Structure 1
């Protein structure tokens, strides 16, 4: 098989902060509408923290449970007073988050160039399939590879090994595309190539001495480099 691009989903293809408008509406009724952006950031950070902690504990649960528990924690931490109905609604919104504006066109360019693309996510296959379908980009991926298949979370080396085994491709022919530095470092540590999608020019990269093979501002810039 030729080179494969394995795209992280949450934060790379799909905008996890696409929930802010719904958060603002829900929080406004409780006098906290101005905290929607902060709530979104803290929810996302805690979601990832919970996956890391569960990975270290060997206590795997599906990623949507980490997301739900992180939502409840953030509500408690910010004392925003969300009810069960609010949390159910927001979890539904999380299942239909939008793709980043340039994603569809960039993926079309990879397809035209004959480059194989797969989605590679901490989310379950069912969740990711639905998310990509609703975002209108599922058809651009040859496969969806989920960590749920090995009951580990990124950046465990086992998940990157699983990706290669599923695709039957050598490490040097596999590129991880992610906006998350921990994912890029995990892939590089596992012997894969990796491109960091640095969506914010202020975003720092972890000073671990493990660098991405490529850094780009968005998926359009990635397509310019690889097609």
Structure 2
């Protein structure tokens, strides 16, 4: 592939991702302002300047705009690399690497995460769907761990790995979101440092978990 063709693809990918983020931001805003059931796909599409038909090139449903793409092909390359034991061969490190790759295009900001949680918490129906999808994704991740490790998806190793990573992600998102609320560090109120990224926090949490497990292991 020529450099010009690759550059064109990159520009197309960037525009596509920007449109997806605009749809997500608008869906969050409308959910907070009106409620999830009180705006339509047509209104959402119109708000970002695309047609209803084009909307479905980005998301399969209104729910997916807020809760993530459920289509199997969305992260196929990432999951294939993970199952193959890449990139490091360390299970937990590679789970973090896979999550990092999936989150990178979304470039979540503290403000977006805080508003997303506000939208979910304001809508019991949406909160229920969010929890159901979390469980579905945990089951799917356990299946990928099992395939990679040659074990059963319900084995303690697969389930503990998934639960541990889930806890580390939750803690990372919670910490990251505080940067939007002004609670991150009151002593640095005048600082322009944006603080650690979400992925930095996730990796820090993994290091802390490893240290805790090592320091409490029986002699």
What TM-score bracket applies, with the shorter chain setting the length?
0.3 to 0.5
Between Structure 1 and Structure 2, whose CA radius of gyration is higher?
2
TM-score for the superposition, normalised by structure 2: 0.33
Q: Which has the higher helix share?
A: 2
Q: Which has the higher strand share?
A: 1
